[in-house]
Structure 1
């Protein structure tokens, strides 16, 4: 990982996007980490800065998911949300959900220690909210009471087919969000749509984080509508 980012820097690149499964692995190989990214324990954008070509890590996933949620699900009930997966993207999504106003957030992961660490960190940042951790065994009970559910695992991705949990646990009252964007119509999104759930596909977060990353790398604003149109065209072409 370190050799890769340093090689890119030495070739003259001004920045990189970092994706699964490297958003936490990259931390040890950077010269500096922006405070917000350090707080989240994950980096998805590296900017090469200054004459010394320092590698500076940022996180635009949190802002990207928050913006996507506001655009795609502006009326989402944020009372009780289940989030499955607490890796690099999951850390940023948990922050974004709480920042948007989620009152109770349940972090689910096969690695209970990782989920508990994130729950403790998020609880400290949002002391007026309830944030807890559990393993997938708790999903039937938690989803029965939830207003929304978010997938932050790689399950559903083109090279990780499947669903993050038993899809028969979905209910029409849930809103459902996925961070996967290849494909955008994951099994989770398709099952939710079939039930009549309000959904947010992973393309919303992908575009919104890219807009933020573009500005960090270039110092110039990007047009979100133009970026999304290009993104959808590329996805349609299978690129």
Structure 2
């Protein structure tokens, strides 16, 4: 399908937006602007919050509107990651595997989707816990970002992924999809969290539990053992109750800030074709603390 071509970067700053609902607290704009500033790139980053402005219900119409407003690319978050994917001209392999996009490039009259959450978690794990044992991992949460994290874990060498979700059928559906991609037995849904934790080398939280608005632990503290490594994708706050509990036991931990940083690093590269200064982006992220 043909779309109006974006204005070239030589005529005005690259215009990027974050499309989502309730995104006023996002750290992403500040990270992108810091990276652009370090490279002296003319760059703007706007919030497109569906709770603050009226948007069309049809995702194709939303993209038509934003292209007409001059956007060259979008980061996409809840509740648009899956709906927008259906109206793109092309999606990357990782986005196709995960079944969601969080980055859309609007260029040359085409709309191309990517999933940088997938790479972002994988890069955070690779850098943050390079020696972690990965024979079996328990992942809590199979919706939203959980799909991207699950693919990143299996791509990153996890032998068997044990999935638990409180929504009936969610873990089973994700496990079935993962086994289609990676082979029989690579993922399975579990009900007994204590037993699964006992069999796992690591525990990854992909639920909202631990966020400021949803305090607490996503599993009983008795399930966490000093031999575990423990990762969280929540970064409001950075030190969740899960990470604090695990750290007190002597576990190696991986905070959610890594995934948030590296998904933005990847997206900035896709938007601009340039490698950002990761240190500057990290400083921008940390400036919220």
Fold shared per TM-score above 0.5: yes
1:140 maps to 194
The question of whether the paired residues in 2 share the 8 Å contact of 1:18 and 1:45 is answered with: yes
Q: Distance in 1 between matches of 2:101 and 2:192?
A: 29
Equivalent residue for 1:161, pick from 204, 207, 215:
215
1:81 maps to 137
Equivalent residue for 1:48, pick from 99, 106, 121:
106
Q: Per-residue deviation at 1:43?
A: 1.0
Q: Distance in 2 between matches of 1:154 and 1:25?
A: 21
Establish whether residue 99 from structure 1 lines up as the match of residue 181 from structure 2. Answer: no
Gaps of 5+ in 2: 1-56
Q: Distance in 1 between matches of 2:64 and 2:197?
A: 44
Deviations 1:109-145 (A, max 9, x none): 12342322221222222227621113xx410111122
The question of whether the paired residues in 2 share the 8 Å contact of 1:21 and 1:88 is answered with: no
The question of whether the paired residues in 2 share the 8 Å contact of 1:112 and 1:133 is answered with: no
Deviations 1:189-213 (A, max 9, x none): 1111111110000011111111110
1:212 maps to 266
SS of structure 2 residue aligned to 1:88: coil
Q: How many residues align?
A: 231
Gaps of 5+ in 1: none
Q: Distance in 2 between matches of 1:16 and 1:73?
A: 30
Establish whether residue 18 from structure 1 lines up as the match of residue 76 from structure 2. Answer: yes
The question of whether the paired residues in 1 share the 8 Å contact of 2:151 and 2:178 is answered with: yes
Deviations 1:58-102 (A, max 9, x none): 101111111100111111110110001112311111111111111
Q: Per-residue deviation at 1:48?
A: 1.2
SS of structure 2 residue aligned to 1:98: helix
Q: Distance in 2 between matches of 1:26 and 1:159?
A: 27
Structure of higher CA gyration radius: 2
Deviations 1:5-38 (A, max 9, x none): 4433322122222224442343234343223212
Establish whether residue 117 from structure 1 lines up as the match of residue 173 from structure 2. Answer: yes
Equivalent residue for 1:72, pick from 121, 128, 135:
128
Equivalent residue for 1:38, pick from 96, 101, 105:
96
Which one has the bigger helix percentage? 1
Instruction: Give RMSD over aligned pairs.
Output: 1.9
